[in-house]
Amino acid sequence: MDTSNYTYEYLPHRGIDKETFRFYEVKTKINAEGKPVSVGFRYKDDLYKVRSFEEKKFYWTPAGDQTRTGLFGMDRFSAGENKSVTITEGEYDALSLYQVLRTPVVSVQSGGSGRRDCAVGYEWLNAFDRIYLAFDNDQAGRDLLHEVAKLFDPVKVYVLRFTKHKDANAYLKAGEGEELRNIWHNAKKYLPDKLLSSFSEFRDILSTPTAIGVPYPFPTWTKMTYGLRKGETVLLTAQEKVGKTEVMHAIEQQLLRETNDPVAALYPEEPPKRHLQALPGLEIGKPVHLPDSGVDQTQVVEALEKLIGVDERLYVGSNFGGDDPDILLDKIRFLVTARNVGWVLLDHLSMVVSGLAGEDIRRAIDYFCTQVQTMVKSLNFGFIMVCHLNDFGQTRDSRYPPKICDIHFRIERDKLSPDPVVRNTIYSTLIDNRFSGQSGPSGDLIFDPTTFRLSEATANDNWNSTTSDGTEKLVA
């Protein structure tokens, strides 16, 4: 900050004392005549948001991009050092609440950037057991409340209700610090949904056109379900080594091709390199993960970049814990709310709690399914997951996954057939379909070992089940 002809002091004002300004390193700039000129709110990395007293305007110094700066005051506290953290809509409000609470309080940069700022600080915020939202008592503040609350598990979120004044600092300026403290202690849990009861609300809902979903890569699946839709869970069940990962790759490629939405692929059994080879392999039409594919690495990278398009479009993950489903639930919530992911693919469900056994694993899977289906509906994203079947044709470890899904496909393959064509054919059945009610056989999927692609069989199919050198390859 410029120090020529000016002094910088921790100057008490707006009901906030000197020690609070000192704690947050918020200094007031004073000219040679002793007149306060501006106040600088220090963010991390010595970045200052400066408010001019005369013009009541804000500017940043040094100038630059603040989109990754995050929350004011976040560098004053360690993640999870207290049971709770409070988020306000302005720096003065954060100072005010800290002064009466002496617990971690931070602020968004502005109402318009609030969701973004909290997304930047998501992991830090989520380390606290409780997250208190203390936004302004106006429409903008109420809108911000719902936007930020969606980032976190609703169980953790509490809401301060300002009635007499607009914001926290207004209470302190009025000498009502004790009332401000009481408002915080009487904060209520956030309620994400409300009951609908008016004809106007009903009309608004019914006037929203029913969208045709994103087509599956297999025509019969699309015809029977009307496509993939956000707000629905699709379950794919199969026994091991039937080809479910190849089906998931095909759906993922389709979503990247047919939409502009960011996509998250969570494949705990598949190393990231193999996954990132599968997608360009489908684009090129060759198994580029094999050392004898004849495809140059440059071609692989170019095909992948062309399919994805831009950075932060595809999120690939393979490690998210083996005994705590909340780890994955938090990751999914973050991807959907903070990174705008529209589609999440999970292959497969049992790996989410692979560190558990017996009744513990059943309870964990039931809990995960309930929580993720709630998120799918409330946050409106598409969720496609794989669940293995046991030897009796039931979902492994828990009977619950088929009960919560909207669409349920089952795939089968005769791995021991002497006929290579049969061994490379996946037979699919639509078990449940809440959208249209259709069910039954949903087409045979042919695996072409020369391209590693799956396609739906037709009456005119003429395909080769072996490579050019006569070596047979099977679905993984």
- Nearest by Cα to 217 from 256, 262, 250, 261: 250
Mean pLDDT of the chain: 90
Most confident of 151-160, 203-212, 358-367, 389-398: 151-160
- The mean pLDDT of 5-32, rounded to a whole number, is 95
Q: How far apart are CA 69 and CA 251, in angstroms?
A: 36
Q: In the prediction, which pLDDT does 248 show?
A: 96
Q: In the prediction, which pLDDT does 467 show?
A: 34
Return the percentage of the chain with pLDDT > 70, whole number: 93
Can you name the residues that pair with 47 across neighbouring β-strands?
43
Q: What is the C-alpha end-to-end distance of the chain, expressed in Å?
A: 61
- Nearest by Cα to 262 from 112, 381, 116: 381
Which pLDDT band, with edges at 50, 70 and 90, does 322 fall under?
A: low
Buried residues in 326-351 as b, exposed as e (16+ CB within 10 A): eebbbbbbbbbbbeebbbbbbbbbbb
- Nearest by Cα to 119 from 341, 383, 378, 381: 341
Element (H, E) at 86: strand 84-88
**Cβ–Cβ under 8 Å, residues 47 and 60:** yes
Which structural domains are found in the chain, ordered by start?
Answer: 16-24+54-189 (3.40.1360.10), 219-456 (3.40.50.300)
Q: In the prediction, which pLDDT does 469 show?
A: 37
pLDDT of residue 280 exceeding 90, the answer is yes
Q: What is the pLDDT of residues 389-434, one digit of tens each?
A: 888 888 887 888 999 999 999 999 998 888 988 999 999 999 999 9
pLDDT of residue 462 exceeding 50, the answer is no
Burial of 325 (0-12, 13-18, 19+ CB in 10 A): buried
Element (H, E) at 408: strand 407-412
Which pLDDT band, with edges at 50, 70 and 90, does 470 fall under?
A: very low
Cα distances (angstroms) measured from residue 290 to each of 25, 409, 454: 57, 30, 18
| Out of 201-210, 353-362, 413-422, least confident range | 353-362
Which pTM does this prediction carry? 0.83
Provide the residue type at 408 as one letter.
Answer: H
| Out of 2-6, 15-19, 414-418, least confident range | 2-6
Q: How far apart are CA 436 and CA 433, in angstroms?
A: 6
pLDDT of residue 66 exceeding 50, the answer is yes
Angle between helix 177-185 and 91-101 (nearest 10): 90
| SS3 state of residue 252 | helix
Q: In the prediction, which pLDDT does 8 show?
A: 93
Q: In terms of pLDDT, which residue wins out, 209 or 164?
A: 164
**Cβ–Cβ under 8 Å, residues 183 and 162:** yes
**Phi-psi region for residue 327, left (φ > 0), alpha (ψ -120 to 50) or beta?**
alpha
Residue 242 tokens read as: 């039937």
Q: How far apart are CA 193 and CA 191, in angstroms?
A: 6
Which pLDDT band, with edges at 50, 70 and 90, does 472 fall under?
A: very low
Q: In the prediction, which pLDDT does 476 show?
A: 35
Q: How far apart are CA 97 and CA 86, in angstroms?
A: 8
pLDDT of residue 466 exceeding 60, the answer is no
Q: In the prediction, which pLDDT does 284 show?
A: 95
Q: What is the pLDDT of residues 427-458, one digit of tens each?
A: 999 999 999 999 999 999 999 989 999 999 97
Can you name the residues that pair with 42 across neighbouring β-strands?
48
Angle between helix 358-379 and 325-338 (nearest 10): 10
Q: In the prediction, which pLDDT does 3 show?
A: 55
Q: What is the pLDDT of residues 206-248, one digit of tens each?
A: 888 877 899 999 999 999 999 999 999 999 999 988 899 999 9
Cα distances (angstroms) measured from residue 122 to each of 44, 114, 153, 285: 16, 12, 12, 39
Which pLDDT band, with edges at 50, 70 and 90, does 97 fall under?
A: very high
- Nearest by Cα to 181 from 271, 97, 65: 97
Which pLDDT band, with edges at 50, 70 and 90, does 35 fall under?
A: very high
Element (H, E) at 326: helix 325-338
